[in-house]
Structure 1
């Protein structure tokens, strides 16, 4: 698919946020266990005077439909369980997604276990998708980083990363978990969560060009 670069900002694996998804080992849990996925290509309409979260789109390479990125959200029950990719409710195709680096390694190593069942698992998963998208409601999805919501969202993210990086990964890596590492992790990920929440608030609430600006640029 080709996109108008004057209208859309195109996000691919080369964007730093996409690279973060690929390189952050903690996100392997989101991907493999929860089925949270990030599309290989997403678009941001630069000409819509709305917050970035309301002007982000995901193109389907099979039918060329531009889906509102909020289609896949926890409010709609579609934010997770997307293990095989993002489902296109228009054509029934699967929109390709990025693969987290650690997820890729785990899948390669464990392929002898699940490889024989992959076709059946994918078919069963695909059969359930159409029903999940019957009652999609985009307009009433709250902005998780609006007003003071960014504090709650950021702290939840920080708590998740704290548990993951302070207990889960060290446990499986055979590292010692001490009171010092717990306290350091608590402070670090609390501040990290607040920083993450504030950054996402600033990033997702940034509005596109105004109508006057668009008119003057034509």
Structure 2
């Protein structure tokens, strides 16, 4: 699929950031547990001076529609385990897979594969229903509180994951919980700051 390269910068493999996504073992948690996905092709509007997140677009190879990347941002960044669904033609938009996610999914295939067969169509319907709220969020201004909220949400999700892991492994004590809470609050705020630095600043 051809794009207007005078207007868009095309981001796809072997882009270093996308290589990082598929090779970093820690990001398997984002994919398999949190359902955060990254499309194989992303377009960046070179003509706009808005922040990167506002200049990011996701093309659908099936129908040719070009969607704002913010449809899968803000309050709709997680829960996309089976990938992105095009709001226009309702077909899947190809997404990357972290190689460690694929290894984990191979091990867990007896569990998730039957569930995929049973619930895939319901998943697509659910994904499409989320876009109405996401479109409302696009109209809301992005400020520093947006990134703090994003970092806090990420930190809470990671805290829940690590607490559950410790509970089933050795049991959770108050000391462990406090330690995990402090680590994940700091980690969440750092995540939000990094996202603001790369995605939220206006183009100079």
Q: Same fold (TM over 0.5)?
A: yes
Which of 178, 198, 201 is the aligned partner of 1:203? Answer: 198
1:85-126 Cα shifts (integer Å, max 9, x gaps): 111111111111111222111111122333344333222312
Which residue pairs with 2:58 in the alignment? 58
2:139 is equivalent to residue 140 of structure 1: yes
Q: Structure 1 138/64 Cα, relative in aligned 2: closer, same or farther at 3 Å?
A: farther
Greater helix share, structure number:
2
Larger Rg: 1
SS at match of 2:96: coil
Q: Structure 1 185/16 Cα, relative in aligned 2: closer, same or farther at 3 Å?
A: farther
Q: Structure 1 131/157 Cα, relative in aligned 2: closer, same or farther at 3 Å?
A: closer
What's the CA shift for 1:24?
2.9
Note the residue ranges of structure 2 that are not aligned, 5 or more in a row: 171-175
Which of 84, 89, 93 is the aligned partner of 1:86? Answer: 84
- Taking the aligned partners of 1:156 and 1:74, their CA distance within structure 2 comes to 10
Which residue pairs with 2:31 in the alignment? 31
- Taking the aligned partners of 1:170 and 1:101, their CA distance within structure 2 comes to 25
- Taking the aligned partners of 1:182 and 1:44, their CA distance within structure 2 comes to 41
SS at match of 1:34: coil
- Taking the aligned partners of 1:168 and 1:19, their CA distance within structure 2 comes to 30
Q: Say how many residue pairs are matched.
A: 203
TM-score scaled by length of structure 1: 0.70
RMSD across aligned positions (CA): 3.5
TM-score scaled by length of structure 2: 0.74
